[in-house]
Amino acid sequence: MVKIYYDKDADSKILKKKTIAVIGYGSQGAGQAQNLKDSGLNVIVGVRQDGESWAQAKADGLTVMTMSEAAKKADVIQMLVPDEIQGAIYASEIAPNMKKGKALCFSHGFNIHYNQIVPPKDVDVIMVAPKGPGFLVRRTYTEGNGVPALIAIYQDATGKARDIGMAYAKGIGATRAGVLETTFKEETETDLFGEQVDLCGGVTCLMKAAFETLVAAGYQPEIAYFETFHEMKLIVDLIHEGGLSKMWYYVSNTAEYGGLTVGPKIINELSKQAMKEALRRIQSGEFAKEFVLESRANRPVLNALERQENEHQVEKVGKELRSMMKWLNPE
């Protein structure tokens, strides 16, 4: 059984005399940098000079400099720019400033696992991956809690990589909730699989297909939205709180019987074959290659798919209905 590590398992002292550079100030960058600062650690932020993120980080009370300057000054460098541009930024801004004994950190293993970044052998390579978006990493920290995280060590050049990683996890509040040990390979492949097959890909396609089926059968789009989209939060919250057993306990007997008998007919062996194919493409690097090339070509496929998604009927119906639900946006 996997072991979960908490505050008592991490010693912040190892980072007290070190400078941590957070490269990038998006959702994760902002959340992690602010938490590290509030934990009493020496944090600097590296971003594009005079950009929007530069001004925001300064407004948040952080020391800001260019990525190259931050990497040069830092002992621990945390890469929190988007996956698709990490390789280029590392090559131009970070690599020239990687010196023996430094630590290179990530919150997702993509660029290391797929060799988009190949660090020198004399530096530590660590992953601390919060299992939640940056705004939640920040919010839970300010509430005295934290978001669970994964930790992995790819290179331990100094013999202290794990201690540094655990101290970093404590600095962002993750050890308050629990830290699980993994590898760059396992984190990368399971994370991509979850995103594609159920969390972001499978679930949204299932919901849209259900909505389209009801509308095509003549039902009102607004009613179809409630039954296929709006109520999803109720189900997910119950599963999040107490697993499938709690969800089945709280839904009606009709819902339980219908779900348990019809669900396997919708998500069946054909679905599992598609899942296995998605996993094969992730494991082989085929998906990574496709994504990297897509990004280098300025995202033509992704831009088109985003437009199609935004123009889908369910988005228009949902936006209208949500504007009437004042409790969703009380401000």
Tell me which residues are annotated as active site.
108
In order of 72, 149, 266, 301, the CA distances from 110 in angstroms are: 24, 16, 32, 20
241 known member of a binding site: no
50 is in an annotated binding site: no
Q: What is the b/e burial string over 89-126, where b = at least 16 CB atoms within 10 angstroms of the residue's CB? A: bbeebbeebbeeebbbbbbbbbbbbbebbebeeebbbb
Please check if 107 is assigned to a binding site.
no
Is 284 among the annotated ligand-binding positions? no
Residue 171 marked ligand-binding: no
CA 230 to chain centre: 23
User: Residue 53 annotated as binding?
Assistant: yes
Instruction: Work out the number of other CB atoms within 10 angstroms of the CB of residue 159.
Output: 8
299 is in an annotated binding site: no
Q: Binding site annotation covers 27?
A: yes
Of residues 208, 166, 172, the one with CA closest to residue 314: 208
Task: Please give the Cα distance from 90 to 97 (Å, whole number).
Answer: 10
Contact 35, 142 (CB under 8 A): no
75 is annotated as contributing to ligand binding? no
Q: Is 280 annotated as a binding residue?
A: no
Question: CB–CB of 151/4 below 8 Å?
Answer: no
- List residues forming the annotated binding site: 25-28, 48, 53, 134, 191, 195, 227, 231, 252
- List residues forming the annotated binding site for Mg(2+): 191, 195, 227, 231
- List residues forming the annotated binding site for NADP(+): 25-28, 48, 53, 134
- List residues forming the annotated binding site for substrate: 252
